[in-house]
Amino acid sequence: MKEYRNYQLKGNNTFGIPALCDRFIEYAGGEELKSLYEQGIFNGQWMSVGCGANLLFCGDYHGVIIHSVASGIKVLEENDNNLLVRADAGIILDDFIEHAVSNGWGGMENLSAIPCSVGAAPVQNVGAYGVEAKDVVECVHVFDTSNGLTRTFSNVECTFGYRNSSFKSNPQYVVLSVDFRLTKAGSHQLHLDYGNLRSSLPADITSGKEGALREIRGAVRRIRREKLPDPAEIGSAGSFFKNPVVDRAVVDNLLKDYPQMPFYEMKNGCKVPAGWLIEQAGWKGRKMGTVGVYEKQALVLVNLGGATGFDVWNLAQSIVASIRDKFGLEISPEVIKVP
Ligand SMILES: Cc1cc2nc3c(=O)[nH]c(=O)nc-3n(C[C@H](O)[C@H](O)[C@H](O)COP(=O)(O)OP(=O)(O)OC[C@H]3O[C@@H](n4cnc5c(N)ncnc54)[C@H](O)[C@@H]3O)c2cc1C
């Protein structure tokens, strides 16, 4: 376990926003969390941080940040069709996917290149190109900071939703490791019908084709590079806003003024792409001092250099107000504002 005082978080959030935290503790697993529990760390202000790819620091954090550096990968069981693999929370999700694809294990290739730790993947139920964490998570092992005990959540108990899970509303659980159910050659199920993925792949791609997982991973990485800023070059947290879900009657009303408005019918209403709304309101590519709206994707707010969390937050608030004025819709941040 390593501990740093007055730790600078600029390198621990993909916005690249400077902020200090009182204590930053790197831990390697449940035993070390148990000792932090016994020291009473969890009685005060604290939070888990993975890659900081969904966080916006608006000021210093006066508390303890815990960060997993656990990095084990273990095959727990295997048959001819699939296998169960345990990955520790501190692993970079994309490194784990590279490991899976290299071993011919399928199921996560569409999630390639999402900046994320394994620990945060079930918390956020990360998703891309038609696959979400919920599709491959068998169970999640957590440390319960309210009683110092470990516990396992089955997939159903995680109550996964759109970028949501039971962990999001219960931050007392610290994810220690995740068991993923992955497929072996002959049993892969490819998901190619999302966005322009299929057209970016060779026409002869099938689940039985040698190297199919590698080709999909390559295509996803290429498409993402074209559309999204690389956090190493331009600070962002990916999509800043969630897509609003509204009643069909609201959509029908809006279609009278905006007949070209895209929407997707869901069980609980209609999802309207927030990126489309923001673009229609004229924000795409706009710059406001140190911050701006990414020119290739209106959902992404970027740090143009030297931004504070409040610079980003103020831009976000201006966008929310303009969508309310223009469409009468409320969009809300996917990004978590800290503190
Ligand atoms: C360029 C870019 C592209 C992106 N593209 C996508 C995308 O395609 N799809 C998508 O879903 N997301 C995307 N995101 C958002 C981001 O990658 C996800 O939200 C991701 O899950 C964040 O992981 P993290 O490790 O950085 O978590 P953090 O941002 O550090 O934390 C997120 C939340 O998880 C909690 N948490 C972190 N670790 C643990 C743990 N071990 N135990 C319990 N709670 C924990 C935190 O307390 C916080 O509430 C993108 C972000 C960027 C910057």
Q: Is 59 left (phi over 0), alpha (psi -120 to 50) or beta?
A: left
Q: Is the CB of 235 under 6 A from ligand 1?
A: no
Quickly tell me which residue has 């993975």 as its tokens: 50
- Do 247 and 140 touch, CB atoms closer than 8 A? no
The torsion angles phi and psi of 288, rounded to 5 degrees, stand at -130, 90
Q: Is the CB of 14 under 6 A from ligand 1?
A: yes
Ligand 1 atom closest to Cα of residue 47: 47
pTM recorded for the entire structure:
0.96
Peptide bond into 339 cis (omega under 30): yes
| pLDDT digit string, tens, across residues 139-159 | 999 999 999 999 999 999 999
Cα-based distances in Å from 262 to 104, 248, 258: 37, 13, 9
Q: Is the CB of 54 under 6 A from ligand 1?
A: yes
Q: Which of 68, 99, 117 is the last residue of a domain?
A: 68
Separation CA 306–CA 291 (nearest Å): 9
Q: Which of 227, 256, 283 is the last residue of a domain?
A: 227
Query: Is 174 in the same domain as 287?
Result: no
Mean of pLDDT over the chain:
97
Query: Is 50 in the same domain as 185?
Result: no
Query: Is 81 in the same domain as 219?
Result: yes
167 band by pLDDT with thresholds 50, 70 and 90 = very high
- Residue range(s) defining the domain that contains residue 34: 2-68
Cα-based distances in Å from 156 to 75, 125, 178, 221: 22, 13, 14, 30
Element of type H or E holding 83: strand 82-88
32: domain CATH number? Answer: 3.30.43.10
Catalytic residue list contains 177:
no
Query: Is 212 in the same domain as 83?
Result: yes
The torsion angles phi and psi of 149, rounded to 5 degrees, stand at -105, 160
Q: Which of 68, 94, 113 is the last residue of a domain?
A: 68
Other Cβ atoms less than 10 A from the Cβ of 117: the count is: 27
**What pLDDT is attached to residue 162?**
87
Domain total in the chain:
3
Q: How far is the CA of 331 from the centre of ligand 1 (A)?
A: 19
180: domain CATH number? Answer: 3.30.465.10
Catalytic residue list contains 334:
yes
Q: How far is the CA of 48 from the centre of ligand 1 (A)?
A: 11
Query: Is 160 in the same domain as 276?
Result: no
Strand-pair category, 131-132 with 137-144: unpaired
255: domain CATH number? Answer: 3.90.78.10
Other Cβ atoms less than 10 A from the Cβ of 112: the count is: 23
Separation CA 29–CA 122 (nearest Å): 17
Catalytic residue list contains 5:
no
Structure tokens at 43: 């009685």
**What pLDDT is attached to residue 139?**
98
Query: Is 84 in the same domain as 35?
Result: no
Query: Is 175 in the same domain as 254?
Result: no
Q: How far is the CA of 121 from the centre of ligand 1 (A)?
A: 7
Which residue's CA is the closest to the ligand 1 atom numbered 43?
Answer: 174
Query: Is 186 in the same domain as 303?
Result: no
Query: Is 123 in the same domain as 262?
Result: no
Other Cβ atoms less than 10 A from the Cβ of 31: the count is: 10
Query: Is 255 in the same domain as 331?
Result: yes
Give the residue from 130, 136, 131 showing the smallest Cα distance to 155. 136
In this model, does residue 268 exceed pLDDT 90? Answer: no
Query: Is 223 in the same domain as 249?
Result: no
- Do 304 and 229 touch, CB atoms closer than 8 A? no
What is residue 12's three-state secondary structure?
helix
| pLDDT digit string, tens, across residues 77-135 | 999 999 999 999 999 999 999 999 999 999 999 999 999 999 999 999 999 999 999 99
Q: How far is the CA of 213 from the centre of ligand 1 (A)?
A: 24
What is residue 128's three-state secondary structure?
strand
Separation CA 316–CA 321 (nearest Å): 9
Query: Is 82 in the same domain as 202?
Result: yes
